[in-house]
Amino acid sequence: MEFLDELRSLKDQIRFNGRFEIPEGTKNVVIAGMGGSGIVGRIFSELYSEIPVSIVDDYRAPDFVGKETLYIAISYSGNTEETIDSVNDAKAKGAITLAITSGGKLAKLADKTVVIPKGLNPRSALGYMLAPLATSFGIAGDKEIDEAYKLLNELDENNEAEKGIAREIYSNESIPVIYGIAPYKAVAYRWKTQFSENAKVLAYSSSFPELNHNDTMSLDGTYRKGEFYFMAFTDGENPKVERRIGITENLTGIGLRRINAKGTSAFARMMWLVHEGDYITFHLAVLRGKNPANVAIIEQLKKELGKQI
Residues 139/41, Cβ–Cβ less than 8 Å: no
From 197, 262, 275, 276, the catalytic residue: 197
Separation of first and last alpha carbons in the chain: 36
Rounded CA-CA distance 20/1 in Å is 28
Residue type, 203: A
Nearest of 114, 124, 108, 99 to residue 36 by alpha carbon: 124
Residue 249, classed as helix, strand or coil, is: helix
Rounded CA-CA distance 302/299 in Å is 5
The DSSP letter of residue 83 is: H
Supply the minimum distance, in Å, between the C-beta of residue 112 and ligand PA5.
18
Supply the minimum distance, in Å, between the C-beta of residue 247 and ligand PA5.
36
Enumerate binding residues for ligand PA5 (CB under 6 A): 34-37, 75-77, 80, 83, 121-123, 197, 295, 298
Q: Which helix (DSSP H) or strand (DSSP E) does residue 55 occupy?
A: strand 53-56
Supply the minimum distance, in Å, between the C-beta of residue 166 and ligand PA5.
19
Residue of closest CB approach to ligand PA5: 35
Nearest of 147, 128, 121, 123 to residue 13 by alpha carbon: 128
Residues 190/180, Cβ–Cβ less than 8 Å: no
Q: Is position 237 annotated as part of the catalytic site? A: no
Q: Is position 227 annotated as part of the catalytic site? A: no
Q: Is position 283 annotated as part of the catalytic site? A: no
Rounded CA-CA distance 32/74 in Å is 6
User: By C-beta, is 40 or 270 nearer to ligand PA5?
Assistant: 40
User: By C-beta, is 36 or 183 nearer to ligand PA5?
Assistant: 36
Nearest of 292, 76, 260 to residue 184 by alpha carbon: 260
Supply the minimum distance, in Å, between the C-beta of residue 18 and ligand PA5.
16
User: By C-beta, is 194 or 248 nearer to ligand PA5?
Assistant: 194
User: By C-beta, is 40 or 245 nearer to ligand PA5?
Assistant: 40
User: By C-beta, is 194 or 265 nearer to ligand PA5?
Assistant: 194
Supply the minimum distance, in Å, between the C-beta of residue 300 and ligand PA5.
12
User: By C-beta, is 96 or 129 nearer to ligand PA5?
Assistant: 129
CA gyration radius, the chain: 19
Instruction: Point out which residues pair with 259 in neighbouring strands.
Output: 233
Supply the minimum distance, in Å, between the C-beta of residue 15 and ligand PA5.
21
Residue 43, classed as helix, strand or coil, is: helix
From 2, 213, 240, 307, the catalytic residue: 213
Nearest of 199, 160, 144 to residue 14 by alpha carbon: 144
Residues with active-site annotation: 197, 213, 302
